[in-house]
Chain A
Amino acid sequence: MGMTIAEKILAKKSGRAKVSPGDLVTVEVDTVVVMDNNFMPSQWRDVLEVRDPERIVVAHDHRAPASTVASASAHVTGRKFVEKFGIKRFHDVGAQQGISHQLVADYGYALPGSVLICGDSHTCSAGVFNCIARGVGTPDIVYGCVTGTAWFKVGATVRYELTGRLPRAVTAKDAFLQIAGQYGDHATMNVEYGGSGIASLSINARKTLTTMSAELSAEFATFEADEALIEWVRARNPTPFEPVAPDPDAQYAAVREVDLSTLQPLVAFPDSVVGNSRPVADAAGVKIDQAFIGSCANGTLEDLTLAAEVLKGRQVATHTRLLITPASQIVYREAARSGILSILADAGAVVTPATCGACGGGSMGVLGPNETCITATTRNFKGRMGDPSARIFMGSPATVAASAIRGVITDPREFLK
């Protein structure tokens, strides 16, 4: 019996010929991404030795620039850690700042066939690069830095065969909401994306799917490799790598087809991402106080460009705030150079520096009591973005931009014909 992509990487990195669901394996970790939350005084321990500083990346992303004294002290601790071990791949507040998962894409840190861990739950984002990547806790991060290893329980894999091409104004976010709405959570299981339809999806669009797979509670979310992916990584990282394909007789818990051409704009209603998707029409007309585009799921240049396409020559409604947070300063600077930022700002959007920011209720756009927000980010749990009485709807950047113009939840097809 063959293995899925995740199983093949877990087997190789644990030195076994084969792994099966239920096995517990200890694997070599190629990349450990440490972020500012890990350095919080309540979580971090002073590390006295690391296995290999070359394997470590440090990114101050959740609260950058620092929003409180606690987050500022986390940054101080992070800088000391970097200095102590001579870590070269360091993303502090500045030109190389960004959300860790976007930096992994921008700088090609995740090589196909490799293992990556990071202290944030949306780490499965990096699985877009045909690797296995998992969000872990701070103790795992410290353990990974010290030993260069991590333990994983092997889960069964669900495969999604994507076919067709997305219609106009329908995005990978809508494709994700379709999957999350129809199939619910995938707890303790891996998700594998492949099929003829992936060729029509950009790397950024695919990354929305892998990032959002954290909301499916997936262990690993991994894309099959193709030329576009290989070129993306080669353009950013000179290290050789070997892509991993599933065995032809790989065993899946389920194989499900998603025909992208049949999809429509969807929104997740407040408090849960899974099992909560409905057509935009079902929420149309709901008045919104805040609209937000950003995060590791929807802060790419492509997301900002789509929002600009909707907003060009139009204005954000007077009672509504539109906040846009690029996922990295590379994205921010490219958007500035190409004129996208001007279009967004002229329309009335407030563009913030690259950070996790309002997505996690950390800073720059926290919601007040009884406010309503529509967000193109990662998560809409009660209290996630501020006061627990606030309601958080989730949609694509196009849906959020269209809603910001009208001041009520709006189908983006009104603006993207």
Chain B
Amino acid sequence: MSILSVRGLDAFVGGQQILHGVTFDVAETGVTALLGRNGVGKTTTLKAVLGLVRRRGEVILGDARIDEARTHRIVAGGVGYVPEDREVFTRLTVAENLQLAARGDDPRYDFVHQLFPELLSRARQAAGTLSGGQQQMLALARVLLNDNRLLLVDEPTKGLAPRVVGEVAEALATAAQRVPVLLVEQNLRVVARLARDAVVMAEGQVVHTGPAAGLLADPGLVQRLLGVHREVAA
């Protein structure tokens, strides 16, 4: 069973078609990694699922079509989004960022503060003054506050120091015990640690799907599909 099915998804950015019939599934549990070289349309795929870019095709969450729905309804229906470059509100405080993201009657502040104690001690600090790693934790905390059915997480370890990469991966592993995750990630060690399934894109299309372990164990395939990342995996 899958929580998300994407069928023949086209997407357009600035009048240009970026995705051409993207088709894949995200399993009901665990982490599915969305891989590929830079500029193949991974971020656009996440945005198209959310309706943040113009799209055409079928997107099914659970058993409901969401490809006609507006972004805020899709998210309120249980899709948490952690964008590339965090996109925390830099002028708002940490507490305000969380307050804005909290949905429903019972946001899980305790769980989030237990996972990221720093967000509690820095609650009154403007989010723009946080380090990259702290901002990433805030961006993750925003979606972990709520009961989601699926998380879309875009390059959470990009630009982070190695120690922080470990912390973020740890937090994602914890999150993935509760909710399925579609993860865009360039760091193949993080992928190897977290992901069960892998979907590989090239030039706006899906070119490979299968178990992540199988893909990463095959240097030839990694080289052919992901090229530049081989040395990271080694």
A and B are interacting partners? no
